[in-house]
Each structure stands twice: as structure tokens, then as C-alpha cells.
Amino acid sequence: MVETSQEIFNTMRERHSVKHYDTSHKMSREEVEQLLSAAHSAPSSWNLQHWKFLVIDDEQKKQQLLPIAYGQKQVVESSVTIAILGDLEANKNAETVYGEAVAKGALTEEIKGRLIGQIDGAYQYPQVARDEAILNASLAAMQLMLAAKAVGLDTCPMGGFDRKAFVEQFDISSRYVPVMLVVVGKAAKPAYASSRLPLGETIFWNQML
């Protein structure tokens, strides 16, 4: 076994989807931003950073979210719900991202132009844009959940919500696809014990059997 710092492994093992939260626990915007800073450090295709975070901490807005989340109470009982949105036009970030890289001397103008050409080519296909948005925003969501666990908080990722109603209620631009909700807060009850399929059934070496 390779020697590692155990902390990250413990954090991953201890993270579970908590459904019941201490309603008296509040998070400051600074605390939320600390977690989102960790989420924002996620890797992304072409470093396009396909995520936006809509933080819902207002009581009235949480109540509006409840029926949209099919009555799942964690959206009102947790401290905040963070809607992870995927950017369907993340190619528009390329100029800024690569402009900075050129300014730092990490990239030439010529390579920047070539990369942007490749990216815009790929983004002609709506399915690519959608896949990329969901794929990359999901990585940020995972980092958010681990960061929360690392500071002693709990989370629940939620795909069970009416996306159309969410977009209408929260006035989300068609540029963004709602990927998932992540509630964050202090657990009032531990998560249900979840298990995993045997690891051996999930690993293949060199070919799928």
C-alpha cells in the first residue's frame, strides 16, 4: 500500500448523504465561500470552469424550493442549498482563461488561437456543450461535498427536483443547465447506512470481461 496522508481518505469515507439537519445551524457567507473556493478549484476540460453556484440561504426562497424538490425536507432544514449549474456556453470563457495564460507567458498567442479554434469547433455541437457542462460541473459538486465534510459539515447531493420548475422559479438563463442541488449543513441525524457493490466487480484490468 502506498503511504498517504489519511485525512483525505477519511473525509471521503465519512461523507454520506445526510437527510436531516439542525435547523438552528446557520452558515455565514464567508463559510459558504470557503467551500465554494474549494469547489471552484476543480479541474475542467480546457480549464473552461463550466460551473456556476446559486446559493439559496433565504428562508422564503428555501420554501419556494421545497415543492420543486418534491417535498424533500433537506432543502429547508439544511443551512444552505447550492444549485450547481453547468455552463452550456463555457467556450465563451476561453478568451479570458487563455488571455491570462498568455499574459503570464504560459502560452503563446498562436497556441491560444489554436485552442480557441478547437473549443469553438467542439461547441458547435449542443450535445458536446451539454455533456461538458454536466461532466465538469459535477466535479465541482464533488469537491464541494468533500470540502464541507472536511470542515465538519454534511451534505446531500440531489438530482430529484423538477428542473423546469427550478429554472422558472429562480429565473435561470438558458445558458445554464441545472445539474444538481447540494444541501449543506450540520447533521441532526446520521445518514442512512449505504453500502457499495463489491469493489472487485467494478474494477477491470486492461479489458472489460
Ligand X SMILES: Cc1cc2nc3c(=O)[nH]c(=O)nc-3n(C[C@H](O)[C@H](O)[C@H](O)COP(=O)(O)O)c2cc1C
Question: Rounded CA gap, 133 and 90, in Å?
Answer: 8
Residue holding cell 470557503? 34
CB of 191 to ligand X, least distance (A): 5
Using rule CB under 6 A, residue 146 touches ligand X: no
Question: Rounded CA gap, 67 and 194, in Å?
Answer: 26
| Part of the chain binding ligand X (CB under 6 A), chosen from 27-35, 36-44, 48-56, 155-163 | 155-163
Using rule CB under 6 A, residue 143 touches ligand X: no
By CB under 6 A, the residues from 67 to 96 that bind ligand X are 72
Residue from 11, 17, 93, 169 in contact with ligand X (CB under 6 A): 17
Please, what's the largest Cα pairwise distance for the chain? Answer: 56
In what helix (H) or strand (E) does residue 82 lie, and over which residues does it extend?
A: strand 80-87
Residue holding cell 447550492? 82
CB of 17 to ligand X, least distance (A): 4
Query: Which of 97/179 has CB closer to ligand X?
Result: 179
| Part of the chain binding ligand X (CB under 6 A), chosen from 16-24, 32-40, 51-59, 81-89 | 16-24
Question: Rounded CA gap, 8 and 143, in Å?
Answer: 11
Using rule CB under 6 A, residue 180 touches ligand X: yes
Using rule CB under 6 A, residue 137 touches ligand X: no
| Part of the chain binding ligand X (CB under 6 A), chosen from 25-33, 119-127, 129-137, 158-166 | 158-166
CB of 7 to ligand X, least distance (A): 19
Identify the burial level of 75 via C-beta atoms within 10 angstroms of its C-beta, where 0-12 means exposed, 13-18 middle and 19 or more buried: buried
Using rule CB under 6 A, residue 20 touches ligand X: no
Torsion 33-171-166-75 (CA) sign? positive
